[in-house]
Amino acid sequence: MNEAMKMTGFGADVFGAEAIKEYLPKETAKKLQGTIEKGEPLDPSIAGEVAHAMKHWAMDRGATHFTHWFLPMTGATAEKHDSFLEVKNGEPIMAFSGKNLIVGEPDASSFPSGGIRSTFEARGYTAWDPTSPAFIKRHGNGATLCIPTAFCAYTGEALDKKTPLLRSMQALERSVKRLMKLFALPDAHVGCTLGAEQEYFLVDKKLWEKRPDLVLTGRTLFGAASAKGQQLEDHYFGTIPTRVLDFMHDVEEELWRLGIPAKTRHNEVAPAQFELAPQFEELNLACDHNMLVMDALRTVAEKHGLKCLLHEKPFAGVNGSGKHNNWSVSYGGKNLLDPGTNPQENAIFLTMLCAIIEAVDRHADLLRASVAGAGNDHRLGANEAPPAVISIYLGDQLEDVIARIERGGAGKAAGRARARTAAPAALRIGVDTLPPLPKDATDRNRTSPFAFTGNKFEFRAPGSSVCCAGPMTVLNTIVAESVDRIAEALEKSGTTGKAKPGEHTEAFHAALQSILQDTLTVHKRVVFNGNGYEPDWLREAARRGLPNAPTSVQALEALSKKENAALFAKYGVFSARELASRHEIFLEEFVGKVRIEGACARDIASEMILPAVKEEYLKTAEALERATNVGVTSGTPALSEDLVELGTGLDALKSEIRELDAALDDNEAERILAGMIALRKTADALEHHVADAKWPLPKYRDMLFLY
Ligand code: ADP
Ligand code: MG
């Protein structure tokens, strides 16, 4: 254990390399490490020994229970705890077998399955994913050993988010290996990496408790804008309030114990909004870790009298929260999205780049669907987050590079054309070296949903509450397809297999050049370097034929397209039935959330806001009556005016509540959403007409400033 690990307790609660070495015999430890590193299935002959070691390790750390920890379709995490304790012949023993470790059988009939599993065949099983290490979750005085698992139906169909993610990683691995072989590189490990930047809001718990909308839906359904919002931009990267800093410190301590490298913390754009970014890790692990990050943010906040809001849009009128997914692919430990320093490395980078451009253009609809959700609908395109149109930002230099590739690598011919037109030189793959790409400058455009940031792509459309596995599964699959397509074209060119390892022939480069050129001609329409917030962009995007699905329901239609089902089936990521089940689950979740919000808005309006307005109305009416009775005229015009305003508001409120109620009865999501907007507009205006002390909900100005 190194000094930094000792100091921070980094990984102290993870059954990782250290613990494996300490608790397992050398031979078994080696086998297990091999499984973990190569992502191979566990050798069943060592399962018993591994379980035994894990139990002792966990019990030494105070654990009494174990659970298979998984990512069901609810988007949260699930656990069913079993105690180590068993009674055998009247004697208590602490038992945990190899079978306990490898498979579990939660009777999980209440998890959404989208029709895959009916309750009469309710059994599902969880299977250990050794590539994500077991860890200990602490709570009060207790502790539980958590074993990350995949969750499937007995038919083998995935009921969770991890299984398809692992399948998509395999698909990408196969494609990338195929391509690298054509580049005459020796076989090596293909890795996907993810760094998930997590945005969140903090509010005082006492105020949160008084807001049924925050309690039930995670966002405010009412609330007039605070006089001060984010206009001054004085919160962004500002001094972190002490109370929040204490909270962040405790979060980091917990994350470090779990081996999660929380790296940066800062204030975000909106008041009371913050961000936590971990160092990137292997994708599957990073997804699990992000779930634990969200967990830690929520639980630690409680201890500080705070509530952590992970909703995409907790407050109207100020920025919402996203989760930037920084993603990359490596081969033999080398990042393939690093442009490199010589023509050979550049060639691989440019091939991957073109594959990604093709993938995103071909399947923008799927990427959009992967970030659909009731919460994100309020964020995407709301002039702070990327629009719902998926495009790629490359930065000026790289855009110039692809323009030069497209201009053609036909060597002399291109040279002659250049002489005539004085256009910048064509870039010849395998010959010319890329200009150095500044990392910082590439990151300035915050308006793009999918941006190249120096040596990785940053998918910025995912909402703050999303499980990264969904969007990452789609990204891996679509890139696997385009990498495959390019590999196939290269194979057909008949120029491969003629070079020594690590070298490539001229013919190969010429073939590659022409393939990439064609790819760019077809797919460069998805590249957009401009301001994604400009309304002009939406018109331009429509002209380019890029899909735009502003709402989740529209976005999710992508999951019902035949060609998309075929894609996922081809790469073994989702069967047609699994994909259909997901479409159903996401739609149900969307409608379910909208219904809860609608009912909550109706209840708050009728039980809290309406009575407060009536009271103010009554007080005003009484004052007016008394003044009139005693024959005073000063003040009566103001009172009459107020009374009319309150009365008009009251009438509007009443009829809007009635409309929302009817929409709920008819179960029409669109109408419920529209009803909520109308109701909110009236209620927020009335907030300024009722005495502050009598307003029944904590206001934006109370909640948004934490000092
Ligand atoms: P930003 O300007 O967006 O803050 P950073 O360089 O700080 O950019 O990186 C943001 C995130 O991207 C971090 O989580 C970082 O670990 C992650 N990241 C960096 N390199 C990679 C990579 N090769 N693959 C995946 N994520 C990466
Ligand atoms: Mg970022």
Average of pLDDT values for 603-614?
98
Expressed in angstroms and rounded, the spacing between residue 326 Cα and the centre of ligand 2 is: 7
Q: How far is the CA of 236 from the centre of ligand 2 (A)?
A: 14
What was the pLDDT predicted at 135?
97
pLDDT at 414: 41
- The reply to whether 360 and 303 lie within a common domain is yes
Segment 248-271 shows an average pLDDT of: 91
- Sequence-distant (≥ 6) Cβ neighbours of residue 436 within 8 angstroms: none
Q: Which two tokens stand for residue 455?
A: 């040596």
Q: Is there a single domain that holds both residue 280 and residue 395?
A: yes
Question: Looking at the CA of 263, which ligand is closest?
Answer: 1
222-236, 588-602, 631-645: least confidently modelled range: 222-236
What is the bridge-based pairing of β-strands 450-452 and 392-393? parallel
Which amino acid is it at 593? K
Residues 6+ apart with CB under 8 A from 385: 319, 320, 322, 379, 460, 461
Span 263-272, average pLDDT: 86
pLDDT of residue 575: 96
pLDDT, tens digit, 9 for 90 and up, residues 508-540: 999 999 999 999 999 999 999 988 888 899 999
Q: Which of 199, 275, 280, 448 best tests ligand 1's pocket when mutated (most atoms within 8 Å of CB)?
A: 280
Query: From the CA of 446, how far away is ligand 2's center (Å)?
Result: 8
Through-space distance between the first and last CA atoms of the chain, rounded to whole angstroms: 38
The angle formed by the CA atoms of residues 450, 456 and 459, to the nearest 5 degrees, is 25
pLDDT at 99: 85
State the Cα–Cα distance between residues 370 and 462, nearest whole angstrom: 8
Point out the ligand 1 atom lying closest to the alpha carbon of residue 335. Answer: 23
Mutation choice for ligand 1 from 285, 326, 338, CB with most ligand atoms inside 8 A: 326
Segment (H or E) for 124 = strand 124-128
User: Both tokens of residue 111?
Assistant: 């998890």
Q: What is the pLDDT of residue 1?
A: 60
Report residue 103: phi and psi, to 5°.
Answer: -130, 150
* Dihedral pair phi/psi, residue 226, rounded to 5°: -75, 145
- Residue 290 CA to residue 283 CA, distance in Å, equals 10
Q: Identify which ligand lies nearest to the alpha carbon of 262.
A: 1
For residue 496, pLDDT over 50 is answered with yes
- A 10 A CB-CB count for 123 gives 12
Ligand nearest to the CA of 333: 1
Percent over 90 (pLDDT), the chain: 71
Distance 564 CA to ligand 1 centre (A): 30
Residue linked to tokens 């005539």:
420
Q: Does the pLDDT value for residue 484 go beyond 70? A: yes
Residues with C-beta less than 6 Å from any ligand 1 atom: 193-195, 197, 277-280, 326-328, 335, 443, 455-456
**How far apart, in Å, are the Cα atoms of 186 and each of 38, 295, 332, 343, 417?**
16, 41, 9, 18, 38
Of the listed ranges 122-131, 203-212, 321-330, 486-495, the least confidently predicted one is 122-131
- Give bridge partners of residue 197 from the DSSP assignment: 324
Gap between the Cα atoms of 356 and 368, Å rounded: 15
Checking if the pLDDT of 14 tops 80, the result is: yes
* Judgement on whether residues 616 and 565 belong to the same structural domain of the protein: no
pLDDT at residue 412 greater than cutoff 50: no
Q: Whose CA is nearest to atom 14 of ligand 1?
A: 195
Angle formed by the axes of helices 162-182 and 469-493, nearest 10°: 20
Least confident window among 50-64, 90-104, 655-669, 687-701: 90-104
- Distance between Cα 197 and ligand 2 center (Å): 7
Strands (E), 154-249: 190-204
Least reliable range by pLDDT among 1-5, 253-257, 504-508 = 1-5
Structure tokens at 77: 């995490």
146: left (phi over 0), alpha (psi -120 to 50) or beta: beta
Highest mean pLDDT among 174-188, 369-383, 413-427: 174-188
- Point out the ligand 1 atom lying closest to the alpha carbon of residue 278: 14
* Ligand 1 atom nearest to CA at 338: 23
Provide the 8-state DSSP code for 228.
S
Residue 583: φ, ψ to 5°? -55, -45
Q: How far is the CA of 279 from the centre of ligand 1 (A)?
A: 7
Tell me the residue range of the domain where 658 lies: 591-704
Question: How does pLDDT run across 315-358, given as a tens digit for each residue?
Answer: 999 999 999 999 999 999 999 999 999 888 999 999 999 999 99
Q: Are 488 and 499 in contact (CB under 8 A)?
A: no
Give the pLDDT score at 92.
81
Asked if the model's pLDDT at residue 44 lies above 50, the reply is: yes
pLDDT of amino acid 267: 85
Dihedral sign (CA 546, 547, 550, 552): negative
Provide the pLDDT for residue 387: 87
Residue nearest to atom 11 of ligand 1 (CA): 195
| Most confident by average pLDDT, 128-137, 400-409, 485-494 | 485-494
Residue 392 belongs to a domain with what CATH number?
Answer: 3.30.590.10
| pLDDT value of residue 230 | 81
Judge if 504 and 430 occupy the same domain. Answer: yes
Residues 349 and 436 in one domain: yes
Say how far apart CA 301 and CA 286 lie, in whole Å. Answer: 22
**How far is the centre of ligand 1, averaged over its atoms, from the C-alpha of 452 (Å)?**
11
Please compute, for residue 22, the number of CA atoms within 13 A of its CA located in the half-sphere on the CB side.
13
Considering every ligand atom shown, identify the ligand nearest to the alpha carbon of residue 326 and give its number: 1
- What pLDDT score was predicted for residue 410? 43
Give 112: exposed, middle or buried? Use CB within 10 Å, 0-12, 13-18, 19+.
buried
- Specify the ligand 1 atom closest to the Cα of 326: 26
Q: Is the domain of 398 the same as that of 539?
A: yes
Top pLDDT among 419 and 582 is at 582
- List the Cα angle 42/43/44 in 5-degree steps: 100
Same domain, 153 and 174: no
- 165 domain-assigned: no
Atom of ligand 1 nearest to the CA of 279: 16
DSSP letters for 472-498: HHHHHHHHHHHHHHHHHHHHHHT-SS-
pLDDT at position 439: 64
Question: In this structure, is residue 582 part of a structural domain?
Answer: no
Residue 134 · residue 145 · CB < 8 Å:
yes
Counting from 1 in the atom list of ligand 1, the atom nearest the Cα of 280 is 16
Tell me the mean pLDDT in the region 11-36.
Answer: 93
Task: Find the angle CA(542)-CA(399)-CA(358) to the nearest 5 degrees.
Answer: 60
176 and 152 together in one domain: no
Confidence bin at 122 (pLDDT 50/70/90): low
Distance 10 CA to ligand 2 centre (A): 24
Q: What angle do CA 279, 285, 287 make, to 5 degrees?
A: 85
| Alpha carbon distances (Å) from 434 to 343, 350, 404, 428 | 7, 10, 11, 10
CATH of the domain at 612: 1.20.120.1560
In degrees rounded to 5, what are phi and psi of residue 473?
-60, -45
Q: Which atom of ligand 1 is least distant from the CA of 443?
A: 2
- H or E stretch including 513? helix 506-523
pLDDT digit string, tens, across residues 84-111: 888 888 888 888 888 888 888 776 667 7
**Tell me, what's the pLDDT at 438?**
66
Q: Is the pLDDT of residue 155 over 90?
A: no
- Rounded to an integer, what distance in angstroms lies between the CA atom of residue 572 and that of residue 127? 18
Mean pLDDT value across the chain? 91
Q: Please report the pLDDT score of residue 55 as a whole number.
A: 94
505 CB burial (10 A radius; 0-12, 13-18, 19+): middle
The whole-number pLDDT of residue 413 equals: 41
Give the pLDDT confidence score for residue 415 in this predicted structure: 43
Residue 334 lies in a domain: yes
Residue 226 lies in a domain: no
The rounded Å distance from CA 168 to ligand 2 centre is 24
Q: Which ligand is nearest to the CA of 277?
A: 1
What is the token pair recorded at 585?
Answer: 């689950």
Residue 197 Cα: closest atom of ligand 1? 14
Task: Write the CB contacts of 75 (distance below 8 Å, at least 6 apart in sequence).
Answer: 161, 465, 466, 467, 589
Examine the domain organization and report whether 305 and 443 are in the same domain.
Answer: yes
- Give yes or no: residues 458 and 605 share one domain: no
pLDDT of residue 38: 76
Element (H, E) at 537: helix 535-544
Higher pLDDT, 109 or 453: 453
Would you say residue 365 has pLDDT above 70? yes
Give the number of the ligand closest to the Cα of residue 327. 1
With H, G, I as helix, E, B as strand and everything else as coil, classify residue 131: coil
* Amino acid occupying residue 321: S
What is the total count of domains within the chain?
3
- With contact defined as beta carbons under 8 Å apart, do 683 and 607 qualify? no
264 pLDDT more than 70? yes
pTM: 0.94
Is 490 domain-assigned?
yes
Pocket test for ligand 1, best of 456, 458, 476 (most atoms within 8 A of CB): 456
580 within domain boundaries: no
Question: How much is the average pLDDT of 61-80?
Answer: 91
Same domain as 302, residue 198: yes
Residue 111 pLDDT: 77
CATH of the domain at 10: 3.10.20.70
Q: Among all chains, which residue has been given the structure tokens 């009412």? A: 222
Q: Does residue 425 share a domain with residue 392? A: yes
Q: What's the pLDDT at 429?
A: 86
